[in-house]
Amino acid sequence: MTDADLNSEILLDHYRNPHHHGQIENPSAKQLEYNPVCGDTIQITVRIENDRITDIKFIGRGCSVSQGTASMLTDHVLGLSLEEVKKISQEDLLDMLGINLGPSREKCALLSLNTIKKCISQYENKSRS
C-alpha cells in the first residue's frame, strides 16, 4: 500500500465514521456552506471560549472528500486558537489530506475550511458589534 492509498483509506474511514458529527446547542457561531455544482453541503457549529475553539461539530452531505475532510479538520482545529485556525492555508489542508486530489476535487476538500473560517468571522463580527 502506498502512502497515497493509505491516506485515501484514512479519508474514507473518516467519511464512513465521521468524528464530531452533529450540532452544538447554542453555539458561538454557526455557518452552512454549499457548492451548488455538486451539492456538497457542510454545516458547522462551534463553541468559542477565550478565543479558542473548545467544541466543534459538523453535519453535511456530499462526497467522501467533502465529508471526510470536514471530519479530519474538526479533529485538527479543536483546541486551537482563532488566530491559529485563521492561518490554516489551502495548501496546509491539502498537505494534511496527503492525497493528490486534482483541481476539480480540491473544491470539495476546501468547503469545510471555508465554513470554519466563516464561523470565526461571524463570531468576531458579533463580538465587535
> Which span (32-40, 46-54, 76-84, 86-94) binds another protein, by CB under 8 A?
32-40
- Cβ closer to another protein: 42 or 85? 42
Q: Which letter does DSSP use for residue 89 in this model?
A: -
- Cβ closer to another protein: 103 or 128? 103
Pull the grid cell for residue 10: 484514512
Rounded CA gap, 109 and 94, in Å?
A: 8
Asked if residue 21 binds another protein (CB under 8 A), the reply is yes
**Which alpha helices (H) appear in 1-129, and where do they start and end?**
3-16, 64-77, 82-86, 90-97, 103-128
Strand partners, 42: 33, 60
User: Closest distance between another protein and the C-beta of residue 59, in Å?
Assistant: 5
User: Closest distance between another protein and the C-beta of residue 84, in Å?
Assistant: 27
Residues 44-103 that bind another protein (CB under 8 A): 59-65, 67
Asked if residue 109 binds another protein (CB under 8 A), the reply is no
Angle at 110 between CA 52 and CA 48, to 5 degrees: 15
